[in-house]
Amino acid sequence: MKSYLITFLSFFIFLSSCSTQKKKGNISEDLDRTVLPIQPPKHKAVSELDARNVTAPPKFEINAPEGAPNIVVILIDDIGFSASEPFGGAIETPTFGKLADNGLKFNKFHSTALCSPTRASLLSGRNHHNANVGSVMEVATANPGNNGFRPDDAKYVAETLRQNGYSTAAFGKWHETAPWETSVSGPFFRWPTNSGFDKFYGFIGGETNMWNPTIYDGSVRVEVETDGEEEYHFTQDMTNEAINWVKFQKAMTPDKPFMVYYAPGAVHAPHHAPKEWIEKYSGKFDEGYDELREKTFQRQKALGIIPQNTKLAPRPDGIKDWDSLSDSEKKLFAVQMETYAGFMEHTDHEIGRMIDAIDEVGELENTLIVYIMGDNGSSAEGGLIGTFNEMVSLNANRTAETVDSMLEYADEWGGPNSFPHFTAAWAVATDVPFSWTKQVAGDFGGTRNGMVMHWPNGFDAKGEIRSQFTHVNDVAPTILEAAGLPEAKMINGVEQKPMDGQSLLYAARDEAAVERHDTQYFEMFGNRAIYHKGWLARVVHSVPWEVKPVATLQEDKWELFNIEEDFSLANDLSAKYPSKLEELKLLFEKEAMENNVYPLDDRKYERFNAAIAGRPDLMGDRTNITLADGMTGITENTFLNVKNTSKTITATLDLKGNDRGVIICQGGQFGGWSLYMNDGKPTYTYNWLGLNSTTITSSKAIPAGESDVKLVFDYDGGGNGKGGLATLYINNEKVGSGRIEQTTPLLFSLDETVDVGRDDATQVAYEEFKNTKDSDFTGYVKSVTVTIPEKK
């Protein structure tokens, strides 16, 4: 017994020492937090038979270091350096501004130029290719650095926090799971709740309909209570979930710090905002994008966001002068920007509600908030005239919409019947003082984003600007230093790669500190650059609104800039300093080799096709799949590719008579196809990019009982997006047929799904069904088989 008591006392003293932590950056020397999970100490076996005669040792717990702050990381989507008021723009963002006034603005903070890569870099602390996320997940390839398999040796900072006594939650956009891993079959290793987060509420892909979203709680699909009307908006919904989680977490464990990763869909397309927020900006952009650029540029100088000697970089070729536009173009483009601005201010308002909730529970002073205004520059993916339905531009179609055709729907812009994106000209105008936009990793217009850091307990400076070169991969190391935690060397038995970023707290606490992040490469779709100690060498290889690159990879022209003297990259010095350019080109080569950047892949639209991209395909070589009633939420990347080919749909139905509702569908209001029943008659609708629909209806109804319905689509061939003949059969009897003149070549949707027995979210046959409930099949789908020809 004496021996046991000595062991017990030693154990107790050890645990007491573990719980005593120094504040702000120092961890206990007695607890090794570099190897996770932290294991309890060994103890000797107990010889006493009766538990009543033994005092059990205290519970072994892992607590966060004493005084460790809460962490809130806010990441806005698709918004440029100069869009918001605090960085000189015209969009009011009072929450962002208030946090800046009581914290710090970073005016040399950088992203990767695209969504998924920035998110992976942000949460892992590594370069995006180092995390195998060289581009967005939907166009992953077979090559390391670009294959979408986030590796186990680059775990997210949330995992380190969770295993060190934090509660962790993610809300909103994820976009960090490979598309072939998004089915009910998983695997779920790279979903949020297996990536360090205890809680996830949001959407898994690149975008979602704000009025009618496809969302998950953890890995379980959630059906939100919405009819696609303006009473519901996803940003408000996710904010409610975040507020409720924070308050509940603090009620249950008031001494346990939390991490919230808040990543709204805004202001990525579709630009969806409540009407009152759009109307607030009515008329405010009538002067045009050229005037907005000039006024923003002057405000930036007045605010000290850019140096006084900065020049406004030239607008890219292809963007027309505002004064040369027709009245129709000006009217349409103004509406587009009003919607975008309303979307952003509405989002900032929702963020303000979350910040207020943190303040209400008494945690704001000791919460490190990193509010990043953009995961890349503003998006020019809407093309030169914008689009009422973003799926049109994502299918590389530049002629299906016109200014006049879109202007007819101006009053609906941003509402439930739209899926819009603004013209590339507004993207350029909200990336001031730079030339380019999202995707252009060689220009700061694609990679420079405003960032605000707020932590009253962590640093004293308020309302100041920090101008050290910083990168999104610096955020994870910043979080660890703030929490007093080391970078993990081992997580779950896997040795971890060192983080590529540097903590930013040195800059937060010393305005004059020498920058520590002095080298950084950039690459996206062949656009590339290398920063090193005040110099930038770059290539602008491809333009977002053009299908083909500017030049071949072998013929690219490199440029050189001294960013200490040329903030906006307006003065190319390559001819003046050729040796410096060659030095930086060699440095890019070195960084590219070390980070799996090569081979460069400048294909864009082609990579939506898994076979061309070479990435895994859940369907593999299968030519058919059989589903049944209730199998819903199947993403496009986990279903047969029925585009640009013939297909046959055969359904065995148990009918009640005079049946109505969806048998099987794919996509939604903005593109897709649906086989359904109406008044007992089988019907097939093909919705081409939300622009027009073709409907073939049976000449006869089916009585109650079991019957087979078949749809045969014979594709014309001869290329992508061609037409074909659709024929309906009941029990092998032909009952209707019709031509479908055009089909979707690349993708139906980034968030709508294949559903059996109903049409989740928006309706493919939107003139027939009002909402998901209305589309519920009154009979029962015993089986439905989709078949495509064997691949040649």
DSSP secondary structure string, 732-775? TEEEEEEEE----SS-S-SS--EEESS--SS-TTTTT-SSHHHH
How would residue 229 be classed by pLDDT, with cut points 50, 70 and 90? low
Asked whether 446 and 437 are in contact (CB, 8 A), the reply is: yes
| Measured CA distances, 29 to 21, 25, 310, 646 (Å) | 9, 12, 49, 66
Number of H helices, E strands in the chain: 17, 30
Residue 27, both tokens = 């961890």
Q: Which residue has the tokens 């030095």?
A: 583
Q: What are phi and psi of 154, to 5 degrees?
A: -135, 55
Strands (E), 448-604: 450-454, 464-466, 470-471, 490-491, 494-495, 519-524, 527-532, 535-539, 559-562
Residue 233 belongs to what H/E stretch? none
Residue-wise pLDDT for 415-471, tens only, equals 999 999 999 999 999 999 999 999 999 999 999 999 999 999 999 999 999 999 999
Contacts of 464 (CB under 8 A, 6+ apart): 104, 105, 511
Average pLDDT over residues 524-534: 98
Residue 410, both tokens = 């101006």
On the question of pLDDT at 27 being above 60, the answer is no
Q: Which residue would you say has higher pLDDT here, 583 or 20? A: 583
Residue 91, both tokens = 């969009």
How would residue 13 be classed by pLDDT, with cut points 50, 70 and 90? very low
Average pLDDT over residues 772-787: 97
On the question of pLDDT at 227 being above 70, the answer is no
Mean predicted lDDT score pLDDT of the chain: 94
**Helix, strand, coil percent content, the chain, rounded in steps of 5:** 25, 20, 50
Asked whether 625 and 785 are in contact (CB, 8 A), the reply is: yes
Average pLDDT over residues 677-703: 97
- Measured CA to CA, the distance from residue 73 to residue 170 in angstroms comes to 9
One-letter amino acid at 341 equals A
Q: Which phi-psi region, left, alpha or beta, contains residue 730 (left: φ > 0; alpha: ψ -120 to 50)?
A: beta
Asked whether 653 and 779 are in contact (CB, 8 A), the reply is: yes
Q: What is the pTM of this model?
A: 0.94
DSSP 589-642: HHHHHHTT-PSP----GGGGSHHHHT---TTTT--EEEE-TT---B-GGGS---
Which of the listed CATH numbers 3.90.226.10, 3.40.50.300, 3.40.720.10, 3.40.640.10 matches domain 72-517?
3.40.720.10
619-787 matches 72-517 in CATH topology: no
- Measured CA to CA, the distance from residue 410 to residue 398 in angstroms comes to 19
Average pLDDT over residues 95-118: 98
Beta bridge partners of 725: 714, 739
On the question of pLDDT at 647 being above 80, the answer is yes
One-letter amino acid at 61 equals E
Residue 743, both tokens = 């089909």
Q: What angle separates helix 234-252 from helix 327-360, to the nearest 10 degrees?
A: 10
- Measured CA to CA, the distance from residue 787 to residue 649 in angstroms comes to 6
On the question of pLDDT at 158 being above 50, the answer is yes
Task: Assign domain 619-787 to its CATH architecture.
Answer: Sandwich (2.60)
- Measured CA to CA, the distance from residue 651 to residue 329 in angstroms comes to 47
What are the structural domain ranges in the chain? 2-53, 72-517, 530-608, 619-787
What pLDDT does residue 742 have?
Answer: 96
- Measured CA to CA, the distance from residue 396 to residue 100 in angstroms comes to 40
Residue-wise pLDDT for 692-711, tens only, equals 999 999 999 999 999 999 99
Start-to-end Cα distance in the chain: 78
DSSP 353-382: HHHHHHHHTT-STTEEEEEEE-SSSPP-TT
Which CATH number is associated with domain 530-608? Answer: 3.30.1120
Residue-wise pLDDT for 319-338, tens only, equals 999 999 999 999 999 999 99
